[in-house]
Amino acid sequence: MLGELEKSEKTALSIAVGFLLFFFGLLVYAAKGMNIDVPTCVTDVKPFTEGKVIQHAPDRYEVHYLAYMWAFDPMELEIPKGSTVDFYLTSKDVIHGFGIEKTNVNMMAIPGTVAYARYTFTQPGEYRVICHEYCGIGHQDMMAKIIVK
């Protein structure tokens, strides 16, 4: 009848709402239960013009990465295993990518803005930082290194 929901429509609607709630629950679980941070733009940090490594505690670091054609500053970062690093990223020329292999850190370096991500390095090893946004003839060589000991 017109104006009334068919039984199958009600079922479809219930399933759709159920999925929405389920995925929202997963989002909350990722954020709170697994402590996953989404890379984001921060507005309370002014874009900087050079790279910087600041150690706040034996296992807490704040690193300012400056991307430019065709390198990162700092080129090499050495930290102890178990360190948590706050990454701040900007670019001084064009848009670059910033992906740390073997991690879920993946950001864009955009001139005039600062991107942010936090990561805890629980495994020792060498992590390459790779520019994954085509930025000119030196793009494929644009790389930095993080050494976790």
Measuring CA to CA, which residue among 66, 68, 51, 78 is closest to residue 142? Answer: 68
Query: What residues contact 59, with CB distance under 8 A and at least 6 apart?
Result: 80, 82, 83, 84
Q: With respect to ligand CUA, which residue has the nearer C-beta, 77 or 131?
A: 131
Q: Closest approach of Cβ 23 to ligand CUA, in Å?
A: 33
Tell me if 139 contacts ligand CUA by CB under 6 A: yes
Residue 31 DSSP one-character state: I
Tell me if 106 contacts ligand CUA by CB under 6 A: no
Tell me the window of 17-25, 33-41, 79-87, 133-141 that interacts with ligand CUA (CB under 6 A).
133-141
Tell me if 133 contacts ligand CUA by CB under 6 A: yes
Antiparallel, parallel or unpaired: β 114-120 and 106-109: unpaired
Out of 96, 100, 108, 146, the only residue in the binding site for ligand CUA (CB under 6 A) is 96
